[in-house]
Copies of this chain bind each other. A is one copy, B any other.
Amino acid sequence: MIHSMMSQVTLGIIQELLSLGHGSVLNEEGEVEMDAIIMDGKDLTSGAVSAVKCIANPIKLARLVMEKTNHLLLTSQGASLFAKAQGISEVPGEQLITERSRERWRKNLKPGSNPVAYQLGLGTVGAVAIDRQGNVACATSTGGMTNKMVGRVGDTACIGSGGYANNSVGAVSTTGHGESIMKVILARLILHYMENGMSTEEAADAGLNYMKTQVDGSGGVIVVNSAGEWTAKFSTKQMSWAAIKDDQLHCGIHTGENEIVSVAASPQ
């Protein structure tokens, strides 16, 4: 949740915040395959990429899909061809892998492992923002579910699931068990609740509760409405989040936490 001066700046800040291919979880073949989405609430334009390899900043690529094509979603090799045409260099896949992600991948190769349990709350970064003109935006980027099948696309690349933004209501970015989020199209669902009169907090709780009762799925969401009210909610054990509003930084990891730090610039 970031205040800024205009929609382009909002999108730019979001993009920089989420420049995170490095450290993503690995698929069953031990490779990084990422999904990402960005959406501008002003006109419902959006860009996304799915199952992209060797891309250091998938959000940047998603934004180029939004701004430079007539499409909303490019996948796999097609997205790579587009990246090359836009002058984005590929990085060797190995550079995106950390020892931590490789260790988790190895553990999940063992019989009886439970990749879903290892996955929750890990590996996805998201942001929502509103500027002074009331323009909202969202973005989400992820390596998906650890030890996923090659070519598995999760909620992040699916508009309405991994994120949604509409100036008349607000913006949502989601994380958690991707398949559950997709089944209930969580981001759009929360905005529907807000359209029907709920606060950001009520809508986030109602959405996460619906996902739990309908498909037994857990996740987390960050939400902002068109009045600038925001919330960070999760049904997982924890979710790292931070928010900036009116020169105050809020942050937390466990349920109920809300540390507040002033980030106002010192008067000159």
Residue ranges of A at the interface with B (Cβ–Cβ < 8 Å): 43-46, 50-51, 69-79, 81-82, 116, 148-154, 158-161, 164, 178-179, 182-185, 188, 192, 196, 214-215
Distance in angstroms from A265 CB to nearest chain B CB is 38
- How long is the Cα–Cα vector from A188 to B182 in the complex, in angstroms? 12
Residue numbers in B under 8 Å from A164 (CB-CB)? 185
Copies of this protein in the assembly total: 2
A159 cross-chain contacts in B, Cβ below 8 A: 158, 161, 182-183, 185
A159 to B181, CA, bound (A): 10
A184 to chain B: closest residue by CB:
B44
Instruction: Point out the residues of chain B lying under 8 angstroms from A196, CB to CB.
Output: 196
Contact: B44 with A74, CB < 8 Å?
A: no
Chain A, interface SS category: mixed
Q: How far is the CA of A75 from the CA of B82 in the complex (A)?
A: 17
Q: Is A185 a contact of B160 with CB atoms below 8 Å?
A: yes
The 4 closest A-B pairs by CB, nearest first: A78-B151, A76-B76, A78-B150, A44-B183
Q: Which residues of B contact A69 (CB under 8 A)?
A: 149, 152
Q: Tell me how far the C-beta of A68 lies from the nearest C-beta in chain B, rounded to whole angstroms.
A: 10
Q: Which of A151, A160, A182 has the most CB of B within 10 A?
A: A151
**What separation, in Å, do the CA atoms of A81 and B31 have in the docked complex?**
15
From B72, B179, B188, contact of A188 by CB (8 A)? B188
